[in-house]
Structure 1
Amino acid sequence: MPAHPPLGRPVFEPADRIPDLAALRDSVQRRDWDAVAASFEALADEDDRAVACRVVAEKRSCEGFLQQVAQARPRDPLVRSLLADRLIQIGWGIRSAYRAQHVSQQQFQDFHAYLRRAELLLIDVCAEYPAYALAWYLRTITSRGLELGLGETRRRYDRLAEHHPHHYSGQQQLLQQLCPKWGGTWEAAHGFAEECAKASPPGSPNGALVAIAQVEQYLELAEKGGTRPAETYLREPENHARLREAAEHSVFHPDFRADSFMAVSAHSAFAAAHCAAGRHAEAAPHFRALGDRADAFLWGYIGSGRPETEFVQHRKTALRKG
């Protein structure tokens, strides 16, 4: 994905900026299973497959199509995983993104019912195909949503990591579980993020986990005491140094794959962390790499909480300063 000057509004939806994912979305719309399967077959990178899985799962009303294919192909791990993710997305939509105290009992009941349906599909896939990355990745999400605890989510991630040790999407999910809002601690969250970043091959996106962990703590501090203590935390020299080191190992390394589906997620995370800290000049290289592409995640944590507004405003400031 070559860098280009910003043209306008950010494009958050992967299928709107990646032609292969646009074609996949069209295949789902046409209910063409052979074309859907071929799209996944063409993706060798498991993180790219995770992004493609989510593109399918976010397609409204596709569950009927996936259920029909699953009935016709009961041993196919892909269709069962895609259907499971669609059920997860429906359930999470019912739950909403609010903290638990703002979610009703009925919402939780319906949310868990969808996740349990997804679990039944994924348990079978994992039993039949123990190395199947998509299923184990999705089970880290269902574990967190069903409140099975850190130990169980970690067990599922460890099974994923046995065969796919640097699965960035799976690491993002475990990182969420390790944050205090899901029962973890900041020490555990930052420790895991840095461990994954340092252990990953040079040029991989995993270094962005360091940025994600920092912005997660920034959000908690901002909610409790306002933006000033949150910004002070991000500006601490050791946190700044960790962020820069992680970026040099990942998105700024010569081996970084700018054409990977995760490139936008990684650059977007680093840009958000620097902007939240007020280091707009350091965010500028990330914005230049992004152009109009962006990941909405984290931008909703900053300022107004409106991802598009925050991305555009911070991009303008960053490119002016850096």
Structure 2
Amino acid sequence: MSALTPPLGRPLLDPAEHFPALAALRSAVLRKDASAVAAAFAALPDEDDRVLACWTVVETPDAETFLREAASDRPDDPLPRTLLAHALIRRGWEIRGETRAEHVTQERFDRFHSHLRRAEILLIDLCAEDPRNALAWYLRLIGARGLELGQSEARRRHDRLAEHHPHHFGAQSQLLQQLCPKWGGTWEEAHGYARDRAAAAPEGAPNGALLAVVQLERYLDIARDRTKQAAEAYLREADSRAELLAASARSVLHPAARPDAYQHVAAHNAFAAAHSLAGRPADAAPHFRALGDRATEFPWGYVGADHAGAFARHRKTALAQG
């Protein structure tokens, strides 16, 4: 481990534990302080940072009740309605669960789609009022997948967002999910899209991690349909490794990268997980050094049920060998 690396502690899966601004935002939601919430979002000019702030709000206990009140009290303010739409989408996905579609009952599907349709009504108006509303378009990508509106509609929504925000990592991550076979796409489409968006992004941007994500998705698919050994063999292919090394050098390991940007934490975790699962601790080490204790639930859930434990175990190996 580098002598400049601070002592490592327990992995921090909650973003509010390593981003003070998110802790303050959560506190504002708990106080039901709509003005403080608005000020917190206004202080985040980066649209990808606003995505994580949006998740922080809706994952706060009783957020939906607060957001309904805020939307009612501030009918001309788009932020409470956008956040309320996200709360409805999140609740819908909780009802559906994370299992494959064939294991979801019709009753759960009906409730799931009901929540998504209610959110969609809000989001259609928001996007009509301001086509530059990146959060609204981002949420409509999640809704399109859940409502099974298909590849063309998902791409249309993505393209409308990209007109104003061409390198929106959160939106690209959502469309990438849609392009995977589990949502009706193909591996050729998914890999091609990840490569295209990674290459088009500015140097230092997190978008290169799309290549790590698509490799992890394919790893999971191979492990499910064949064996874990076959999945690991895929990740160990020379082309897979070369692609990740080039992508990380141009993105989160580039001198222009913003190490404290919210989405860079997610990107480093994706690269670290992909290299770790491939048995390449030395390649994972730079990402773990950049992260310190800052873990994320995705993609460590692909490694094991104990997300923090998987992160800590692979971090220890990587820093010892890399």
Please confirm whether the aligned pair reaches a TM-score higher than 0.5, indicating the same fold: yes
SS in 2 for 1:117: helix
Aligned to 1:306: 306
RMSD: 1.1
- Amino acid across the alignment from 2:220: L
| Alpha-carbon contact 1:5-1:288 (below 8 Å) kept | no
**Is 1:279 matched with 2:280?**
yes
- Amino acid across the alignment from 1:316: K
- Amino acid across the alignment from 2:19: I
Alpha-carbon deviation of 1:33?
0.5
In 1: Cα distance, 2:181 partner to 2:116 partner = 22
| Alpha-carbon contact 2:295-2:308 (below 8 Å) kept | no
Aligned to 1:217: 218
Structure 2: gaps spanning 5 or more residues:
none
**Is 1:111 matched with 2:125?**
no
**In the TM superposition, what whole-angstrom CA distance separates every residue of 1:248-269 from its partner, at most 9, and x where no partner exists?**
1101110000011111101000
* 1:285-304 matches, cutoff 5 A: 285-302=286-303, 304=304
Aligned to 1:21: 22
Aligned to 2:143: 142
Aligned to 1:55: 56
In 2: Cα distance, 1:8 partner to 1:220 partner = 32
In 2: Cα distance, 1:4 partner to 1:51 partner = 26
Aligned length: 319
**In the TM superposition, what whole-angstrom CA distance separates every residue of 1:268-309 from its partner, at most 9, and x where no partner exists?**
00000001101011101111111110111011112x333122
- Amino acid across the alignment from 1:167: H
Aligned to 1:86: 87
| Alpha-carbon contact 2:26-2:60 (below 8 Å) kept | yes
SS in 2 for 1:262: helix
**Is 1:96 matched with 2:90?**
no
Aligned to 2:316: 316
In 2: Cα distance, 1:267 partner to 1:98 partner = 27
Aligned to 1:8: 9
**In the TM superposition, what whole-angstrom CA distance separates every residue of 1:132-170 from its partner, at most 9, and x where no partner exists?**
111001000000011111111110010000000000000
Alpha-carbon deviation of 1:4?
4.2
TM-score by length of 1: 0.97
In 1: Cα distance, 2:7 partner to 2:113 partner = 41
In 1: Cα distance, 2:204 partner to 2:258 partner = 7
Aligned to 1:253: 254
In 2: Cα distance, 1:311 partner to 1:4 partner = 17
Aligned to 1:68: 69
SS in 2 for 1:301: coil
Aligned to 1:157: 158
- CA distance 1:6–1:155, shift in 2 (3 Å): farther
SS in 1 for 2:301: helix
Aligned to 2:173: 172
TM-score by length of 2: 0.97
| Alpha-carbon contact 1:6-1:292 (below 8 Å) kept | no
| Alpha-carbon contact 2:212-2:244 (below 8 Å) kept | yes
